[in-house]
Amino acid sequence: MCGIVGYWGKKESVPILIKGLKRLEYRGYDSAGIAVIKRNNLNYLKKTGKVRELEKEINREKLTGQIGIAHTRWATHGIPNDINAHPHMDVSESMALIHNGIIENYSTLREVLLKEGVKFKSDTDTEVVVQLISSIYKKNGLSLEESVRAALQQVIGAYGVVLVSKDEPDTLIAARFGSPLVVGIGEGEYFVASDAAPIIDYTRNVMYLDEGEMAIITNGELTIKNIFENKIISKEISKVDWSVEQIEKGNYPHYMLKEINEQERTVVDTMRGRLRVEDGDAHLGGIRDFMPRIESARRYYITACGTSWHAGMIGKYLLEEYAGIPVHVEYASEFRYRETIVGPDTVVIAISQSGETADTLAAIRKAKEKGALTLGICNVVGSSISRDTDCGVYTHAGPEIGVASTKAFTAQVTVLSMLALMLGRRKDRLSKSQGQEITRSMNKLGDYIKEVLTDDKQLQKVAKDTQNVNHYLYLGRGLNFPVALEGALKLKEISYIHAEGYPAAEMKHGPIALIDENMPVVFIAPHDKTYEKILSNIEQVKSRKGITIVITDKHSKDLDALADYLIVIPSTHAHIFPILVSIPLQLLAYHLAVLRGCNVDQPRNLAKSVTVE
Ligand code: AGP
């Protein structure tokens, strides 16, 4: 949800800022802008569309400068156009500000400023912040830092803001309340960004701003203070371990395809050092000290959004079976406002790739208020969710740039499988040999994924033959029902084909009415205890002339006869199968999106990290 980048140093800042914006473009891509200070002048450019449109404009205008800020937008208030793009300027165009988040009391602040005679240019909530800072700066004779602090104390909402002013041309100020900001510390230079991606070309030393903190960079010095109390805060420097290759597309046409293909390695990375194959057990260091409370909990809640919620649904099935503890899976947006049965005897597991999803963060805070133990499953190290939870497990899938989540999902399910296994073993609901069966299958997962990735011709054929349909249905039973939901979400978000996932048996309670010769139905049909049942569901679709696409783990006479398209993937433990079968579903969505000419990595209206409610 909007990407922010700022540079303070002696180098030419424009190329650094533009490269940074390109790295952050997955966070928002409807417009972009830049403001730079050069010899006490503040110049800015803003453009609707992708960063490359802004770049063209910069080249035309030959914009240069040293200290600067840049922004790529995902619109909340005001349509995507040049005026609403960030940076926003004050009336005298001496200050420029970029913002990620939502200012909830912007109309009240706007009213006050209008009465003072301030003329607003945009329809955004952000503009009030810069106008307010400017008004305080001009009226009260305060420094820029003091004016920012005074203004932010009046602001209600979520923000990550960065500001520069030609009146104090050597200063860059960043502040965070609700939206992530990372400060990169280089040799005589500093970077501020929404995440580490724009920073790692220059330095691996970073500080993650916490809620209510501001960074003031002036005269080559960085000071971190509290926004509300003006106290200096001493913070630790963390090291970022991402590599540049990890955040670049390499030879792949899209990040999504790269990330799908990376899964043969990423699931192995998720399990590295955690799986005890011979003991039939797992070990998750980040929750070790909390195990007594996790084991003795009366109930678990899993809270998340989108794809992470689907991973949570798979987690529910596994945890209930292995740990024997009731698990409720709640969308974080519902959890945060609903009266849930949460207390000190509850563990709330929050799942998030980015670790920044606003609803999931709010759900954690609510769970903590109610005395629950909070456990995060996050991909981004140092993210807000990973820091706000009492304990947690990193998924170690590496940076995920494609808006459609792929490798983060399989990593989340892998972590949940290990968690369920650990609890099952401790609670004696799983014997050592049952545990070994699972760990051995998990150990082979990387090779199985490789096999699935090696040959996707049949999936390409399905995509080619069905590229013009308007709807798709995904059906699965048991653990594969949430996989069906995830398959449908992947398809709709990147190909814009309407898709729905259902528990296979539910089909006859409604969706069967939709079946005709134009409706492809994807069945997830492994040869497990649900096989016979799902076979009848396939027959029901077939007899209504639906297009049957069956993903299974071995050929059978029935499937060979019933499936219009049969995709056979390796056979594995039923509890691991959801991870493996997700991959052909990701590939199918990918091929369909490419054939339909869609922007796979940056689908319309979406953003990678949803940091607003
Ligand atoms: C996944 O493909 C989606 N783009 C989206 O549903 C995503 O999973 C959701 O916004 C949650 O994000 P998070 O995992 O970063 O919290």
DSSP assignment, residue 232? B
276 three-state secondary structure: strand
Q: 199 falls in which pLDDT band (50, 70, 90)?
A: very high
Question: For 40-49, what is each residue's pLDDT tens digit?
Answer: 999 999 999 9
Sequence-separated (6 or more) residues with CB below 8 Å from residue 52: none
Over 90: is that where the pLDDT of 247 sits? no
User: Cα torsion at 110, 114, 117, 122 (round to 10°)?
Assistant: 60
Residues lining ligand 1, judged by CB closer than 6 Å?
305-308, 352-354, 357, 360, 403-405, 493, 606, 609-610
What's residue 244's pLDDT? 83
Over 90: is that where the pLDDT of 69 sits? yes
What's residue 75's pLDDT? 83
Question: Closest ligand 1 atom, CA of 304?
Answer: 16
- Spot the catalytic one: 19, 366, 490, 608: 608
Over 80: is that where the pLDDT of 196 sits? yes
Is residue 10 classed exposed, middle or buried when 0-12, 13-18 and 19+ CB atoms within 10 A define those classes?
A: exposed
What's residue 415's pLDDT? 98
CA of 249 to the centre of ligand 1 (A): 20
Question: Closest ligand 1 atom, CA of 489?
Answer: 2
183 three-state secondary structure: strand
Degrees (nearest 5) of the Cα angle 488, 491, 494? 145
What's residue 76's pLDDT? 82
CA of 608 to the centre of ligand 1 (A): 7
28 CB neighbour count, 10 Å cutoff: 28
Question: Closest ligand 1 atom, CA of 408?
Answer: 14
> In angstroms, what CA-CA distances link 596 with 251, 404, 464?
22, 16, 10
Question: Closest ligand 1 atom, CA of 609?
Answer: 15
What's residue 514's pLDDT? 93
Q: 573 falls in which pLDDT band (50, 70, 90)?
A: very high
Question: For 316-356, what is each residue's pLDDT tens digit?
Answer: 999 999 999 999 999 999 999 999 999 999 999 999 999 99
Instruction: Please say if 608 is a catalytic residue.
Output: yes
Over 80: is that where the pLDDT of 613 sits? no
431 three-state secondary structure: coil
CA of 535 to the centre of ligand 1 (A): 32
Do 21 and 70 touch, CB atoms closer than 8 A? yes
Question: For 218-230, what is each residue's pLDDT tens digit?
Answer: 999 999 999 998 8
Best residue among 256, 308, 400, 483 to mutate for probing ligand 1's pocket (most ligand atoms within 8 Å of CB) is: 308
CA of 510 to the centre of ligand 1 (A): 28
Over 90: is that where the pLDDT of 78 sits? no
Instruction: Please say if 2 is a catalytic residue.
Output: yes
Please name the residue whose Cα sits nearest to atom 4 of ligand 1: 404
Is residue 326 classed exposed, middle or buried when 0-12, 13-18 and 19+ CB atoms within 10 A define those classes?
A: middle
Do 417 and 430 touch, CB atoms closer than 8 A? no
468 CB neighbour count, 10 Å cutoff: 9
What's residue 448's pLDDT? 97
Work out the mean pLDDT of the chain and round it to a whole number.
95
CA of 146 to the centre of ligand 1 (A): 37
Best residue among 194, 314, 353 to mutate for probing ligand 1's pocket (most ligand atoms within 8 Å of CB) is: 353
Best residue among 74, 405, 612 to mutate for probing ligand 1's pocket (most ligand atoms within 8 Å of CB) is: 405
Please name the residue whose Cα sits nearest to atom 9 of ligand 1: 306
What's residue 607's pLDDT? 81
CA of 280 to the centre of ligand 1 (A): 32
How far is it, in rounded angstroms, from Cα 589 to Cα 577? 19
Over 90: is that where the pLDDT of 29 sits? no
Question: For 392-448, what is each residue's pLDDT tens digit?
Answer: 999 999 999 999 999 999 999 999 999 999 999 999 999 999 999 999 999 999 999
Please name the residue whose Cα sits nearest to atom 6 of ligand 1: 306
Over 80: is that where the pLDDT of 52 sits? yes
Question: For 137-187, what is each residue's pLDDT tens digit?
Answer: 999 889 999 999 999 999 999 999 999 999 999 999 999 998 899 999 999
Q: What is the pTM of this model?
A: 0.90
